[in-house]
Amino acid sequence: MMDVSTEQQNVYAHEGGVTSVAFSPDGSLVATAGYDSMLRIWDAGTWAEVACLAGHRRGHVVFTPDGDYLVSAGLHTDAVVFRTGAWEAVARIPGT
């Protein structure tokens, strides 16, 4: 993983700004969520884009502790669960 104290990286990926950032448990991936309703997955070492996922609802993003899933949830909207690696939506949890 990169040493953020010695290297700065500018990544322009979301129109309208970023709403949330999460590192995978092993530190190899970074997930960013944005106002553009997209989730982007980045290689934490190279900042190369690994995946771009639709379905985000302008909220937060978090990896599960085992790193097998990525969850996207916004205020008053459904949460979307993605399986990592395949980057497919596998569940939708209704909002309240």
Lowest mean pLDDT among 8-22, 24-38, 56-70: 8-22
Q: Could you tell me how many residues make up the chain?
A: 96
pLDDT in tens, 71-89: 998 776 788 999 999 999 9
Segment 7-21 shows an average pLDDT of 72
Structure tokens given for 52: 């771009």
**0.75 exceeded by the pTM?**
yes
**Cα(4)–Cα(96) distance, rounded to whole angstroms?**
38
Cα(13)–Cα(30) distance, rounded to whole angstroms?
13
Angle at 21 between CA 62 and CA 51, to 5 degrees: 80
CA distance 44 to 54: 21
Read off the pLDDT band of 96 (50, 70, 90).
low
